[in-house]
Amino acid sequence: MASFLKLARNKYFVVLAFFLVWMLFFDPRDWALISARKSKLNELRESEKRITAEIEKTRAELNSLKTSAATIEKYAREKYLMKKDNEDLYLIKSQ
């Protein structure tokens, strides 16, 4: 206990302790804010990776649609439920 009182009387220790408390809790750019921003940054990076992969997939699909008539037909049948005049279309919903 005596060593703590001796340390508490030291002006450099008091100033350092005040500075650390201020920077960790009261500063506008405190530790909690920095931690939250790092978390948000990691979340945004993951989102960027996911969106980039989706863009590449869409570009590949667009390229195949531009080059192949069979792909256009397949796309129209799957996405827009189009059919030929002499066909019947049955939709089966899986559970």
- pLDDT at position 43, please? 98
Quick: pLDDT tens for 13-65: 888 888 888 877 777 777 788 889 999 999 999 999 999 999 999 999 899 88
What are the angstrom distances between the C-alpha of 31 and each of 4, 24, 38, 41, 48? 27, 5, 11, 15, 26
Q: What is the pTM of this model?
A: 0.57
Task: Report whether 50 contacts 58 (CB < 8 A).
Answer: no
